[in-house]
Amino acid sequence: METIEIRGESIKLGQLLKLHGVAEHGAMAKDMIADGEVTVNGEVETRRGATIRPGDRIEALGEAFEVGAEQG
């Protein structure tokens, strides 16, 4: 499973989808989340501003990835 490294302790779900590249822009991320196409740790998440932390697992558009903390 791919790991996406983030700076800091958390990131918002919409920002993470853009960072990963599964969403090309914010509006696409918003639509995917609103349509129930994104899961966080196996549960459908419909809040674009949901707080995502290292260790969380995300699935969207058939892609699964885990969030990791940037080292350094």
Domain boundaries, the chain: 2-69
> What is the pTM (predicted TM-score) of this model?
0.93
Looking at this protein, which amino acid is placed at residue 21?
G
- pLDDT given for residue 65 in this prediction: 97
2-69 is classed in which CATH architecture? Roll (3.10)
Q: pLDDT tens-digit profile of 13-69?
A: 999 999 999 999 999 999 999 999 999 999 999 999 999 999 999 999 999 999 999
